[in-house]
C-alpha cells in the first residue's frame, strides 16, 4: 500500500491534488492512500508520532514553515523517500536540490505533470524492489535490507548492527558469522576486521589502520591486513569495469 502525503496551505490546491491522486489510482490501477495537511507543522508532527509516507508532495511557499523547511525536517527522519515540490515560483529551484527533491513542478498543477512524476517515482521504486535484499529479524520486527543501501555491518556483543546509507541502524540479535555468510554471497563485501563487514560500493579511502566510507564513518582494519584489503578492493573495482 503506497502512502502519499500532500501538504499545501491552499485548500483548493489540496482538493485538486486529492482529485488527481484519485484519478491516478483509477487509471493506473495503483493501490495507494493519501493524507492532506494544510501546513507543514501538522505533517511534521504526524511524522514525529511515527507516521510514515512513501511520497511527499509539498507546496514551497507556506507561511511560517515553508516547504523547504518541511523537507529538511523530513530528511532528518527519512533520507530516501521521494519529495516532490509544487510551487507558483521558480526561485526556490536551487534550494530544492539541497533536500534531494525528485521533482520541482510549477503551478498550475495539471494531470499530465502529476501523472508523469508519479510514473517516474513508481518506476524507480519497482527497480529498487527488484534489487538484491536480505531479510532480517530486527528488534523492530521483520525488515528488508537492500544490499545496495547497506554501508556496513558490525557486531557488538550479541547484536549485529546494519548501518544503512540513510543513517538508520538496524539492530538484530543473531550470529555475526551467519550474517557474514549471507552477505558475502553478494560479492561486494569485504571483511577488514573480525567485527566488521563493509560494502565496497561505499569505500572512499583505505589507510593502514582504517577504511573511511562515503558516509564519513570509518571502520578499523586489523593489524597486518591492510595490504590484503587494498588488493581485494582493487580486484573488486577492476571486475566492475
Give the model confidence (pLDDT) of 127-180 as tens digits.
766 568 888 888 888 888 989 889 999 999 999 999 998 888 999 999 999 999
Clarify whether residues 65 and 111 are in a common domain: yes
Shared domain for 43 and 141, answered yes or no, is: no
Same-domain status, 114 and 7: yes
- 224: number of Cβ within 10 Å: 8
> What contacts 24+ positions apart, CB below 8 Å, involve 111-119?
111/20, 111/23, 114/17, 114/20, 114/21, 114/24, 115/20, 115/24, 115/27, 115/28, 117/84, 118/24, 118/28, 118/30, 118/55, 119/28
Give pLDDT, residue 241: 58
Q: Are 22 and 125 members of one domain? A: yes
Domain count, the chain: 2
Region 20-33 average pLDDT: 95
What is the domain extent for residue 98? 2-129
Other residues' Cβ atoms within 10 Å of the Cβ of residue 155: 18
Q: Which of 110, 129, 148 is the last residue of a domain?
A: 129
In the block, cell 508519479 appears at 118
The pLDDT value recorded for residue 160 is 96
Residues 88, 44: Cα–Cα separation, whole Å: 22
- Domain identity same for 109 and 153: no
Only one residue has cell 525536517, namely 73
Can you tell me the mean pLDDT for 7-35? 95
Look at residue 93 in the predicted model and tell me its pLDDT.
64
Residues 19 and 117 reside in one and the same domain: yes
Residue 55 is predicted with a pLDDT of 95
Structure confidence by residue, pLDDT tens digits, 192-201: 999 999 999 9
Which residue, 129, 144, 162, sits at the end of a domain?
Answer: 129
Task: Give the model's pLDDT for residue 89.
Answer: 73
pLDDT value at residue 124:
83
Question: Between 96 and 232, whose confidence is greater?
Answer: 232
Q: Which of 168, 165, 183, 108 has its CA nearest to residue 138?
A: 168
pLDDT classification of 101: cutoffs 50, 70, 90 = confident
Q: Are 87 and 60 in contact (CB under 8 A)?
A: yes
Residues 118, 144: one domain?
A: no
Residue 211 is predicted with a pLDDT of 96
Do 125 and 12 lie in one domain? The reply is yes
Q: Which of 84, 108, 129 is the last residue of a domain?
A: 129
Query: Are 146 and 211 contained in the same domain?
Result: yes
Of residues 100 and 10, more confidence is placed in 10
Task: Report pLDDT for 92.
Answer: 66
CATH number at residue 13: 3.40.50.2300
In the predicted model, is pLDDT for residue 118 greater than 80?
Answer: yes
Amino acid at each position: 500500500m503506497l502512502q502519499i502525503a500532500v501538504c499545501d496551505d491552499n485548500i483548493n490546491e489540496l482538493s485538486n491534488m486529492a482529485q488527481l491522486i484519485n484519478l491516478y489510482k483509477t487509471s493506473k490501477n495503483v493501490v495507494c492512500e493519501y493524507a492532506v495537511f494544510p501546513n507543514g507543522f501538522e505533517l511534521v508532527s504526524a511524522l514525529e508520532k511515527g507516521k510514515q509516507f512513501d511520497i511527499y508532495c509539498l507546496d514551497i511557499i507556506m507561511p511560517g514553515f515553508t516547504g523547504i523547511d518541511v523537507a529538511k525536517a523530513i530528511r532528518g527522519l527519512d533520507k530516501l523517500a521521494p519529495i516532490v515540490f509544487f510551487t507558483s515560483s521558480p526561485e526556490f529551484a536551487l534550494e530544492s536540490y539541497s533536500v534531494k527533491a525528485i521533482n520541482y513542478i510549477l503551478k498550475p498543477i495539471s494531470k499530465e505533470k502529476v501523472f508523469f512524476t508519479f510514473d517516474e517515482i513508481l518506476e524507480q521504486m519497482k527497480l529498487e524492489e527488484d534489487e538484491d535484499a536480505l531479510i532480517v529479524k530486527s528488534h523492530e520486527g521483520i525488515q528488508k535490507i537492500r544490499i545496495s543501501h547497506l554501508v556496513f555491518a558490525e557486531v557488538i556483543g550479541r547484536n549485529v548492527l546494519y548501518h544503512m546509507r540513510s543513517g538508520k541502524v538496524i539492530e538484530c540479535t543473531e550470529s555475526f558469522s551467519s550474517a557474514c555468510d549471507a552477505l558475502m554471497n553478494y560479492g561486494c563485501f569485504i571483511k577488514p576486521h573480525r567485527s566488521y563487514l563493509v560494502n565496497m560500493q561505499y569505500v572512499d579511502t583505505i589507510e593502514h589502520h582504517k577504511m573511511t566510507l562515503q558516509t564519513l564513518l570509518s571502520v578499523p582494519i586489523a593489524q597486518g591486513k591492510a595490504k590484503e584489503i587494498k588488493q581485494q578492493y582493487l580486484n573488486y573495482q577492476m571486475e566492475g569495469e
